Amino acid sequence: MDTTLAGGVERRVLRLIRQHHLIPPGSTVLLAVSGGADSLALVQILARLQDRVSATLHVAYVDHGLRAVAALEAERAFVAEIAASLGIEFHGVRVATDTVKRSPEDAARTGRYHALARLAGALGAERVATGHTRSDQAETVLLRLLRGAGIAGLAAMVPDAPWPVPDVVSPRLLRPLLGLSRAETASYCAAAGLTPCDDETNADRRFLRNRVRLDVLPLLRAMNPRVEVALADLAEESHLVMSAFDALLERAAVQRGNGPDGVLCLDTAALQSLAPAARRAALRAALRAVMPPSAGPARAHILALEALALRDGDAQVSLPGRLLARRVRSMIRLGAAERDAHPAGEPDRPVPFAGEFHWSGFRISVTRAPFPAGAQNGDRWAVALDPALAAELTVGSRRRGERMELVGMSGHKRLQDLMVDAKVPRAERERLPVFRTARGVAWVAGLRVAHWARPAGAGALHIQVHPPERDPPSAHGSEFL
């Protein structure tokens, strides 16, 4: 091994571990190793630092079952061999991924974290370390910018984080390599005589992260060779700002505590007295306290809650996870909605600025392109919306009593009546994707678009909804979906 290169890399990793107190002496740490350069560098570096951090290490390989069996078996055997050569106990686990209600990326990520949490619990490991690098950080910042993230989203990844998905066991998630670039982990592996496994899915441009890695970052790097450092610095500064806000909000008289029925109460006068940035940070903290971890507050949810706090009169806003924010005089009551106030289905989710994602079995594509004046959509599953809506656009199920302002008519029409008029079967009404902003319903996929949501200029946000494959309709059925 090139001891000069390796020693420099290892010292930097040790410095980050000590700076953030990632591995207290006596800890048991589970290392997630896929066989790629980043995770190989992770296991090699921590094995060489093991005595200095006084930790017990285990290696885990997670098989998602999404690739050819031969390739997965070869990877697993390779990682097991590496672990054995370093004297570290190896564990191989396989997870089932559900790609019907999630994209393959989301399903693999969720399944991986569930499997790692269960294994960590069985081993008594309080921490799980991954090989995320500064290059991954830069990609994550760009992805969140594309999806319209606020400053909290730009904070992206941190070296020591809570477990990212809900689980019975919740170890800490460590990223000891966050100060290294992907090029540095590759050089470290070469210096150590390690040949990483090649995952062919990393070149598949159907995945948005791969397009950012393969197409966007090289263009940015041509303009600024240190763009990864700049994006990683932005993430760190955003995290520091959010941490400072959180500390201030602990002393702010915004949250009045839980009501007798477990509802979180917010003082609208206190919210209105805050600067906009502090007010949104306070609302984000309140939403995090009541929303399920799998949903998480998005910018659209925060803006809708802020509008509720700033308006005059009583009103309410539905939120993901069957939550309801109800304004009554000077208080906002934030908690679970009444039974049947929100139909069953997946939580609302933000619509990305561009790319493809899945919601409740529907595949949804988002692009930006011109839309000439007077043009009409020929496909009822496609729409062109005002691009100004992109920052707060979400998709979810129909809500009880919800209305929309339709093109070609004055006033509002209930979605229930709209679907009855279109002869949508009762069983399908709660499944149709409903796109909305804080103003209201912008588009019901397959049906109508609100007059205020149409493109105001030459550009447009184009959304194409691909319904899930259905059984052939019966003689009395509907061809609607």
CATH code at position 92: 3.40.50.620
**Is 181 contained in some domain?**
yes
Q: Is 471 part of a structural domain of the chain?
A: no
**Is residue 66 domain-shared with residue 212, that is, in the same domain?**
yes
Answer yes or no: do 48 and 151 share one domain: yes
pLDDT tens, position by position, 325-343: 888 888 888 887 654 333 4
Highest mean pLDDT range out of 52-66, 75-89, 308-322, 325-339?
A: 75-89
Residue 476 lies in a domain: no
Helix (H) or strand (E) run with residue 231 in it: helix 227-249
**pLDDT tens digits, one per residue of 196-247:** 998 787 888 888 899 999 999 999 999 999 999 999 999 999 998 888 776 6
The reported pLDDT for the residue numbered 143 is: 92
- Domain encompassing residue 72: 3-241
CA–CA distance, 319 with 114 (Å, rounded to integer): 25
For residues 151 and 195, membership in a common domain is answered with: yes
CATH number assigned to the domain comprising residue 268 = 3.30.465.60
Say what the pTM is. 0.61
146-160, 342-356, 364-378, range with greatest mean pLDDT: 146-160
Domains held by the chain: number: 3
| In a shared domain, residues 79 and 209 | yes
Mean pLDDT, the chain, rounded, equals: 83
- Which amino acid is present at 219? L
The angle that helices 134-146 and 227-249 make with each other, rounded to 10 degrees, is 70
Whether residue 427 lies inside any domain: the answer is yes
- Tell me whether residue 270 is in a domain: yes
Single out the residue in 241, 274, 308 at which a domain terminates. 241
Share of the chain above pLDDT 70, in %: 83
Same domain, 301 and 427: no
pLDDT at res. 257:
52
Instruction: Specify whether 267 is located in the same domain as 396.
Output: no
Together in a domain, 15 and 136: yes
Q: Are residues 223 and 191 in the same domain?
A: yes
pLDDT given at position 344: 45
Q: Is residue 341 part of a domain?
A: no
- In this structure, are 267 and 235 located in the same domain? no
Examine the fold and report which residue of 301, 336, 371 is the final residue of a domain before the chain moves on. Answer: 336
pLDDT score at 422: 86
DSSP codes joined into one string, 45-103: HHHHHHHHHT-EEEEEEEE-S-S-HHHHHHHHHHHHHHHHHTT-EEEEEE-----SSS-
- Do 369 and 325 belong together in one domain? no
pLDDT of residue 179: 96
Name the domain boundary from 241, 275, 292.
241
State whether 359 and 262 are in the same domain. Answer: no
Residue 253 domain-assigned?
Answer: no
In this structure, the answer to whether residues 332 and 383 fall within a common structural domain is no
